[in-house]
Structures are given as C-alpha cells and as structure tokens.
Amino acid sequence: MLYFLSIRTLAISIATSLVCFAAPSAHAESARELQSSARQALQELYRTTPAAAALGEKAAGILVFPEIIKGGFVVAAQYGNGALFKRGAVAGYYNTTSASFGFQAGVQKFGYALFFMTEDDLKYLNASEGWEIGALPSLTVVDTGVARSLSTTTLQKGMYAFFFSQRGLMGGLSLQGTKITRIHPDR
C-alpha cells in the first residue's frame, strides 16, 4: 500500500511539474504570436488533410491549438493555447487543459483543430465560461477512415476534431475531459 502511494505521489508531482513548465511559456505568447502559429498550423493541416480543407470552407468557426504539451506517469496533464477563426479573422483566444489518470507514461506534443459547422455549434463555446469537450454529443474525431466518408451532406452540423503534428512518446490521444476556456493574451 505504501509503495502504491509513493508511485501515486510521484506521478502527481511529475504531471503537475509538466503542466507548470508548459503553462508559463504558453501564457507568455502574445496574441500576434498565437495568431501566427495557429494560422501556420491550420495551413499545414489543410495541406496534409484535404478533408480538413473541405470542412474549413463550410465551417462557422475553427478553433486551432497549434501546440499542446501532454505528459505524465499514471497521472497525465496537457496544456496549450489557441485561436478561434471566423471567416479567416481571429474571433478570440482560448486555452485547453486536461488531466487524466490511468496506465500512461511519457511526454508528447501535438496540435488539434475543432471545426464548428454552424453558428449554433459555436454559440456554446462563446456563451460558456469554459466548457468540457465530451459533454456534448456532436463531436466527431476525424481519423483517416472518417475523413474518407465526409461529404457535403455529412458536413451540416456538429463539431469535427483533427489531430496533427504529433511528436513524442505517449500512448493515445483523446479530447474526453478536455476543458476549453477563453483567454486574453497581451497584444
């Protein structure tokens, strides 16, 4: 029992340290830097994933998190900042955080983009003081198989998530339990 508590304490310490290490650098980003990195990430996603480009043409808004840092041992945490684009212009800045517990170990960097297909889908993001992904049933994580089945008839409503730029060693990517909150970076 004492051995388990020591491992648990170590895991919590590692996860907390990783988030604390990542958080200051993410907060230090200016709005201009965040906008630039989010635009570059979105253009790279469009270049490598034609289904994302097709969604981007029809989406009411696209929330792009260009770099998320995730790490831990048993207990893991992730953190990153992003920009919301509406018709090509920045409509706000957000951060994403998550914590999880389970069989996991490692450190990973990745990005993701959420495509909101209608204004109603986007309203919840704008009206809430932070919301949890997974609390809404209309999120589809797009992988290679889903991307092939997207068409103009399936792109009517809901939210679609694409992961990109995955680097590092950590098993699995998930958005379940991820909280997104509006932020106001320095100009």
pLDDT digits (tens, 9 = 90+) for 47-92: 999 889 989 999 999 999 999 998 877 777 889 999 999 999 999 9
Determine the longest span between alpha carbons in the chain, in angstroms: 57
Inform me whether the pLDDT recorded for 160 exceeds 70.
yes
- In percent, how much of the chain has pLDDT > 70? 65
Question: What's the pTM?
Answer: 0.76
Determine the pLDDT at residue 96: 92
Spell out the residues 6+ positions from residue 183 whose beta carbon is closer than 8 angstroms to its own.
Answer: 81, 93, 94, 95
Helix axes 50-58, 31-48, angle to 10 degrees: 120
Determine the pLDDT at residue 78: 87
- Give burial (CB, 10 Å; 0-12/13-18/19+) of 132: middle
State the Cα–Cα distance between residues 69 and 79, nearest whole angstrom: 6
- In percent, how much of the chain has pLDDT > 90? 34
Q: Which residue has the tokens 């993701």?
A: 112
- H or E stretch covering 164: strand 159-169
Determine the pLDDT at residue 131: 64
